[in-house]
Amino acid sequence: MRKRSWLTSAISLLILVVLSCSPQGNNLSIQVWFSPGGGCTDAIIGELNKAKKEILVQAYSFTSQAIAKALVDAHKRGVRTEIILDKSQRTEKYSAADFTSHMGVSTYIDGAHAIAHNKIMIIDNETVITGSFNFTKAAEERNAENLLIIRSKQLAKDYLDNWEKHKAHSEKYAGR
């Protein structure tokens, strides 16, 4: 992770204080990254590599080969891995959805919304990865994005409940 500025540290501390005062804040940990070039992709891959039981993903744009490979690697080591993507991933010139689905990762398309604009991962029912950061090479290298990694079982449960609602109306993606 790159050095944090005093403002980044202050924002992280403020978020931590506010959330730790809430019922959801028990055993809370927050890390923040910014792009371009801030290590967001490496931070995500680090969390995926630590997953023991389950990784659930909702993504609008998913073209990062490195993140796709980390998800497939988790799947191969026995971690339940499922992905829900926006319907635009059916027709994008390149989508990591083709790679993940062909490698056996359960991949779904959420076509029930104008845009399924989520950018989240839920890992082992205790870690939530979220922010504006799309799971793309452009998000890491060219865009101004932010990424939060939050460890909170209650927050993970809230995200899981929402993830399950979206999976219920999503269609299985078999790839092209």
Helices 65-76 and 40-50, axial angle in degrees (round to 10): 0
Share of the chain above pLDDT 90, in %: 64
Is 16 part of a structural domain of the chain? yes
Structural domain total, the chain:
1
The contacts of residue 104 (CB under 8 Å, 6+ apart) are 72, 75
Q: Indicate if the pLDDT at residue 56 is higher than 90.
A: yes
pLDDT at 87: 87
Q: Is residue 35, in this structure, part of any structural domain at all?
A: yes
Tell which wins on pLDDT, 25 or 108: 108
Supply the range of the domain harboring residue 63.
6-172
Beta strand residue intervals within the chain, DSSP E: 29-35, 54-59, 80-86, 106-110, 119-123, 127-130, 145-151, 171-172
> Does 6 score more than 70 pLDDT?
no
Query: Can you tell me the mean pLDDT for 43-68?
Result: 95
Residues marked active site are found at 117, 119, 124
Whether residue 147 lies inside any domain: the answer is yes
Confirm whether 98 is domain-assigned: yes
Give the pLDDT mean for 96-102: 87
For residue 67, being part of any structural domain is answered with yes
Instruction: With respect to residue 65, please indicate whether it lies within any of the assigned structural domains.
Output: yes
Q: For residues 60 and 94, is the Cβ–Cβ distance under 8 A?
A: no
Residue 1 covered by a domain: no
Indicate which CATH number applies to the domain containing 135: 3.30.870.10
Query: How does residue 1 score in pLDDT terms, banded at 50, 70 and 90?
Result: very low
Question: How sure is the predictor about 45, in pLDDT bands with cuts at 50, 70 and 90?
Answer: very high
- Cβ pair 139, 57 in contact under 8 A: no
Given the DSSP bridges, would you call strands 106-110 and 171-172 parallel, antiparallel or unpaired?
A: antiparallel
Average pLDDT for 161-172: 96
Output the average pLDDT for the chain: 87
pLDDT the model gives residue 62: 87
Which pLDDT band, with edges at 50, 70 and 90, does 26 fall under?
Answer: low
Question: Is-contact 98 175, C-beta < 8 A?
Answer: yes
